[in-house]
Amino acid sequence: MNISTKIANIIRWCFLGVLFLLAIIWNIALLQFINPFLGFNYFRNPLIIILIIPLIILITISLLSSYIYRPWCRILCPFGALVSLTSRFSRYKLRRTESCTNCGSCENISEVIKYIQDVVAEEITEHFRHVMQSKDYNVNDVPSARKHINAYLHLTLYSHHLYHFIRNPVLHEKDEH
């Protein structure tokens, strides 16, 4: 079963809203009770009846996993809703436009790396010069330059790869096999 991104986002935002309202009304961290990965911390005190809630959620997610790829992550995860807020303000985005031919090159990580290198190279150089001059370093100091540029580039590549992975988890599963 394939659920569209729009419907999954609507469900995710509604779920986050319900969690937020219940946290305000009951003054508890409701996510602790329904998260199938954290909810079983209550085995320490087996008299707590609230253990049933994460068990029901876990069984539901397990059954849904037979029909939907990663249902918790794709449909219900409230953290995914919060991350989607920050991705809207991302500086560098790959967007599909009317001129898109659906060739898939934007989904290929080597193409993404090339895109980042082309777009960000000039900005990295300018940022490096500014930092080096503000700290009174010599711009021609190769070890400092290499260290600074590598750290900045690794951070940029990691954040873009993480964004790409979050937006298209199915594509990465195909790449792993």
50-109 pLDDT, tens digit per residue, is 566 677 778 888 898 888 888 888 888 888 888 778 777 776 666 667 777 777 666 666
pLDDT band at 117 (very low <50, low <70, confident <90, very high): low
Enter the DSSP assignment of 138. Answer: -
Name the pTM for this structure.
0.43
Average pLDDT of the residues of the chain: 70
Return the higher-pLDDT residue of 15 and 27.
15
Residue with tokens 């560098």: 92
Return the higher-pLDDT residue of 29 and 173.
29
Return the higher-pLDDT residue of 172 and 33.
33
Burial class (CB in 10 A: 0-12, 13-18, 19+), 160: buried
Backbone angles phi, psi at 171, to 5 degrees: -65, -35
What pLDDT score does 158 carry? Answer: 66
Return the higher-pLDDT residue of 118 and 61.
61
What pLDDT score does 172 carry? Answer: 46
**In whole angstroms, what is the distance from residue 114 CA to residue 161 CA?**
12
**pLDDT at 35 > cutoff 60:** yes
Q: How far apart are the first and last CA of the chain?
A: 21
As a whole number, mean pLDDT of residues 1-11 equals: 82
Burial class (CB in 10 A: 0-12, 13-18, 19+), 50: middle
pLDDT band at 161 (very low <50, low <70, confident <90, very high): low
Give the three-class secondary structure for 67: coil
In the chain, domain spans: 5-88, 105-176
The single-letter code of the amino acid at 90 is S
What pLDDT score does 106 carry? Answer: 60
The answer to whether the CB of 78 falls within 8 A of the CB of 18 is no
pLDDT band at 177 (very low <50, low <70, confident <90, very high): very low
